[in-house]
Amino acid sequence: MNIFMVSSEAYPFSKTGGLGDIAGSFPLVLSSMKFGSSKINASLLIPLYKQNYKLISKKNIIAEFQIEYGKETIKTEIAKIKHPENDNVDIYFIKQDSMFKRNGIYSENGNDYPDNAGRFILFSKAVIKLIIHLYKEEKFKLDIVHIHDWQTALTALYIKEVYNEEKALENIKVIFTIHNLAYQGNFPTNIYPLLNISWKFFVHSRLEFYGYVSFIKAGIILSDIVTTVSPSYSLEIQREEFGCGMNNLLMDISYKLYGILNGVYDNSWNPKTDKHIKNNYDLNSIKNKMLIRNSLYKEFNFSNKNYPLVTMISRFDIQKGLDLIYQSFFELSSYNANFIFLFSKNNYLKDFEKDFIDRADRAKNIKVLFAFDESLAHRLTAGSDMYLMPSRFEPCGLNQIYSMKYGSLPIVHAVGGLKDTVINYNGNKSINKASGFSFNDYSIKSFVNTMDLAFDLYYNKKNVWDKLILNAMNKDYSLQKTVLEYVKLYKKLLVK
């Protein structure tokens, strides 16, 4: 079975969030599996961003295409390397300097690139060109293209309807994974000529969405299977509350819509082997968490060293429940606990960011940082006792899974993937399964009451607290399980 994983980002080459984690590690796990008696050949296709130019030289360039781009043609090259962690996984970089050799991935200095639509139109066209090239030059026949989020969704249109008479694309199956429906890739019609397709596709049943060109609709309508990153989210987005205007469409295609829970790649997130933490640990050496916490308290100049540490690592995005935290700073400041928030910037929320920091600075036990720091994220997860994730909505979430694996109990709003992964503690009847704390009503009262419960257990019921940590660390939310579910879908498609 030959599979192309197509994504706009993939760790360790590029990352802004959970998409990067999953797209980067998925092919590594997939390549270790089999389809019947034959192996699975999984490759990754991503743009070549500025930080990755050091990985390639002229010898890595395997093809060069002239790609139609409106009235222009743009030279685009394909570079190929072996994955640094696994020689069995090929990485194909789409190299186009004017489009992708920039300081950011989607934005710079707080502003989205104004040509993002064109950048990912070109990317999708290059993917198609590469598939055809490999078929003609190397007799390589692809079975499945697995695309992720709006940036790659046009690939489905080009495979299924624009170039569907190409021999190389014949019988290729397309799976489209929605990581966050809130990001749809909807653009004004002035970008339409860049697609180099007939206006017959600008209809409600294809690309048109309230007068805009919707990239994500191409993926939803034309892919053979559509997946989301948790079972609960796949149901939620068929309702108006979470459907972002797409709920009716998603109800219509529910026969091919599946929710598969994301998982953790053990090589990247594992307290026993994590290269980012000095004192590795497991359940038998969990006291090492205290050493990591003490190191963080020294680094951040906390005076109360015996207090528990509560962390949050997130985009600075209203989706993540920032309003609940902002309005709860008085309660947070009154707890016998220390808080560290690590956010990546959102320059659309500059005024709120300033207010957020100003309010946090009034408390001695709260620290707020704005930086993308992978190493610090690992250390905060490892050193914390509790992890906050009160999201308004959450397609899956990975940080609550990381936190449980590291023995940090999550406090979450019971939606989407948070509902599917965190089993709420609600007394002795849940003691053998509970792995954290959740609240149903998105309100300050519910959030604070849940934190009150967590701190009461931490300080007054150590045996219960320790049991919850044991439960959490024993949960198996591995990427291996996720990929196995996808392999079942791949088989289903190919048997058809």
CB atoms within 10 A of CB 12: 15
pLDDT at position 43 is 98
In-domain check, residue 272: no
| Position 372 confidence tier, pLDDT thresholds 50, 70, 90 | confident
Tell me: do 233 and 317 sit in the same domain.
Answer: no
**Tokens 């966050």 correspond to what residue?**
180
| Position 496 confidence tier, pLDDT thresholds 50, 70, 90 | low
pLDDT at position 459 is 97
> For residues 40 and 27, is the Cβ–Cβ distance under 8 A?
no
**Is the model's pLDDT at 110 over the cut of 80?**
no
**Is the model's pLDDT at 195 over the cut of 90?**
yes
The domain containing residue 177 runs over which residues?
A: 2-265+480-495
**Cis (ω within 30 of 0) for the bond into 12?**
yes
In-domain check, residue 84: yes
**Is the model's pLDDT at 114 over the cut of 80?**
yes
pLDDT at position 303 is 87
pLDDT at position 160 is 97
- By DSSP bridging, strand 86-95 and strand 41-47 are parallel
Tell me: do 10 and 142 sit in the same domain.
Answer: yes
User: What is the average pLDDT across 434-445?
Assistant: 98
DSSP string, 171-228: T-EEEEEES-TT---EE-GGGGGGG-S-GGG-STTTTEETTEEEHHHHHHHHSSEEEE
Tell me: do 468 and 385 sit in the same domain.
Answer: yes
Residue 411 and residue 389: Cα distance in Å, rounded?
6
Task: Specify which residues 386 forms β-bridges with.
Answer: 310, 409
Tell me: do 69 and 174 sit in the same domain.
Answer: yes
Domain count, the chain: 2
3-state secondary structure of 37: coil
Tell me: do 62 and 153 sit in the same domain.
Answer: yes
In-domain check, residue 273: no
> For residues 183 and 167, is the Cβ–Cβ distance under 8 A?
no
Mean of the per-residue pLDDT values for the chain? 96
Tell me: do 429 and 365 sit in the same domain.
Answer: yes
In-domain check, residue 51: yes
Tell me: do 470 and 487 sit in the same domain.
Answer: no
Tell me: do 167 and 35 sit in the same domain.
Answer: yes
In-domain check, residue 275: no
**Across 126-130, 174-178, 202-206, 348-352, least confident range:** 348-352
Percent of the chain at pLDDT above 90?
93
pLDDT tens for residues 127-176? 999 999 999 999 999 999 999 999 999 999 999 999 999 999 999 999 99
User: What is the average pLDDT across 252-272?
Assistant: 95
**Is the model's pLDDT at 269 over the cut of 70?**
yes
In-domain check, residue 278: no
pLDDT at position 395 is 97
pLDDT tens for residues 292-347? 999 999 999 998 889 999 999 999 999 999 999 999 999 999 999 999 999 987 77
Tell me: do 87 and 204 sit in the same domain.
Answer: yes
Tell me: do 447 and 305 sit in the same domain.
Answer: yes
First to last CA, the chain: 15
| Position 1 confidence tier, pLDDT thresholds 50, 70, 90 | very high
In-domain check, residue 74: yes
> For residues 327 and 294, is the Cβ–Cβ distance under 8 A?
no
In-domain check, residue 189: yes
User: What is the average pLDDT across 374-388?
Assistant: 97
Tell me: do 24 and 144 sit in the same domain.
Answer: yes
CATH no. for residue 147? 3.40.50.2000
**Tokens 């969030």 correspond to what residue?**
17
Percent of the chain at pLDDT above 70?
100
**Is the model's pLDDT at 467 over the cut of 70?**
yes
Give strand ranges (E) for 229-274: 257-259
Tell me: do 471 and 388 sit in the same domain.
Answer: yes
**Is the model's pLDDT at 249 over the cut of 80?**
yes
